[in-house]
Amino acid sequence: AQSVAQPEDQVNVAEGNPLTVKCTYSVSGNPYLFWYVQYPNRGLQFLLKYITGDNLVKGSYGFEAEFNKSQTSFHLKKPSALVSDSALYFCAVRDPGDKLIFGTGTRLQVFP
């Protein structure tokens, strides 16, 4: 069975500093991995995905994520955080042909 874990409920970072939001997964085959962002009272917005190929995936708003097969991780990163990046971030995984499974979310707070 597939599963995804986001070990941090909240991540705090100062504006201008690099940020990392952690995600680990468990699937039976080769995973499809995703990151979404949710601003207050809004729907989820797709940020980036890994299907195959280069382990470093670049997405919207300057975010990127690194697929690490040996550590079964797909951490979200950004070199320099903005206050406007403050939001709820969801990692998701799916086995091809199966449904998308979401993590519990990590709240990112960027302080000026």
Partner 1 sequence: SQTIHQWPATLVQPVGSPLSLECTVEGTSNPNLYWYRQAAGRGLQLLFYSVGIGQISSEVPQNLSASRPQDRQFILSSKKLLLSDSGFYLCAWEGGGLVNTGELFFGEGSRLTVL
Contact call for residue 52 and partner 1 (CB under 8 A): no
Among 42, 55, 58, 69, interactor with partner 1 by CB under 8 A: 42
Minimal distance, residue 57 CB to partner 1, in Å: 12
Backbone angles phi, psi at 82, to 5 degrees: -115, 150
Least Å distance between CB 104 and partner 1? 5
Rule CB under 8 A: choose which of 49, 64, 75, 77 binds partner 1: 49
Residue 90's Cα: distance from chain center in Å? 6
Q: Which is nearer to partner 1, 23 or 103 (CB)?
A: 103
Closest CA to 86 of 12, 8, 5, 18: 12
Instruction: Convert 79-97 to b/e letters by CB count within 10 Å (16 or more is b).
Output: eebeeebbbbbbbbbbbee
The residues binding partner 1 (CB under 8 A) are 32, 34, 36, 40-46, 49, 51, 88, 90, 94, 96, 99-100, 102-105
